[in-house]
Structure 1
Amino acid sequence: MTNHTEEQALELEALEALFTREEEFEKLSPTSFRLSLLPCQEGEGTDHVAVTLLVEYVPTYPDDPPHWEIQSSKGLDTEALEELKKEVSEAMKREVGAPMMYTIAEFVQDWLRERNKPQQSMYDQMMSRENAAVVEDESDEEEEEGDGDEPQYTGLGDKQLCAATTQVAPKLKQRQTVSTRTRKTVTAQETPRRECFGRMRVSSKAKTTRNFCPIEDHLLRKGNSSSMHMHVPLGVNLHA
């Protein structure tokens, strides 16, 4: 069984030995103490913020968190103090089961270092809030103006196809002109060939339908055969 009283006494001795600055650690009873914490080590800088913790062990500490509160503070507003209380409570829950107050003291000192800045007057705080609001409004206006200047997208044809059509149209027209000239040239070249092929077909047809012998053909070309007198030797077949 854990001896809680012994563990508590040993932790008090350790804290008293570690926090040696004036009024940094004060033992109030065998189960309670006061711990004043600063962000800077002695002689290392100016302490603009500070807190004093009042701690009292419960009978089951360290198996359960101690009772504690922020007794006093310096340079911290109410919102910051509420944030510190929440974070310290969460840290204590994580450390349950072992003496934790030295770990908690280091955690608080780190938190104070992050916020170790001179405290502003009420007027300075008001001006800071107003300046922040003005900067935010200007940023919103710039974003709105930027959105208004941007050209609206009206479709793929307007952005890409128009430029492409301008480049392609002259080439298409040129190709059509060349194609027309080529057809005219081919037609002109084919006309004599077609006439020649036509005569050849007529001549071929004439050869297949006419059965005149060479002599008769010759006589027909020279005139009417009935008006001419021919002396054909006997035994000559004119249709041979």
Structure 2
Amino acid sequence: MSRSPLEKFRTIFKRSSSNSSRSNSTQSENNSLTMGGENYDYDEPPLTPLELHGYKSTTKHRLLNKELAEELRQHVPALLQISHDWELLYSIEQSGTSLQTLYDKCQPQIGESVNRRRGYLIVVQDTRKNIFGAYINEHLRPLDKKIYYGNGDCFLWKLEKGDVKDLNNKHQSIEKKEVSLNLKVFPFTSVNDFVIYSNNQFISVGSGDGKFGLWIDSNLSIGASDSVDTFGNEPLSDRKKFYILGLEIWKIC
């Protein structure tokens, strides 16, 4: 006799304890399904390890490696966490210091589905070796009018100084140093909707009261970071004004 759908279901999912606490972590709550009035716990399959595509063999200053990328992956939207191929769209070393080139390389390619969900990671290294950036849900582009874009998936992030002092050296990557990353993420607060604004003069992520969470000038050489209501963040660099050593834009889709 064939088994009922519920019996088949029970062979896959383990019935959760009726005495389980409601104070379980969010991750545990997300790993529970209800069927026929009964709760079933399940284990999510492990994510496929990330692959980073786009660095040239001659590229010396690499701002992102797999360990940092895996840490950041945990904070992007769940549907994009499944993606295991991240593509380097732009880097100062490989593409030069041109804001227009950055915008051109961020444009969706001909034939790309406009409905396909994607995200973009901004990675910055300043001359004081701070590593920080932003995750944004839309591609960067110049706007003629002051119109903000982006949604609540966006966030700012930074690494505590000292964790990745040699990250930019391809011969001394994090994997070879066995250090524990101290990543700080500052999610969208909903206090205001000044998420992303970009034009031919600058890029900004988060703003308010004349301050910016992350601001990059048209020459891609000078930046600024301050606490803003958009993300409730700390300044991303140890100086509110900083000089940019490296900048990369990655696509996640």
TM range (shorter): under 0.3
> Could you say which structure has the higher helix fraction?
1
Query: Who wins on radius of gyration, i.e. which is larger?
Result: 1
TM-score by length of 1: 0.20
User: Whose relative contact order is higher, 1 or 2, with alpha carbons under 8 Å and at least 6 apart?
Assistant: 2
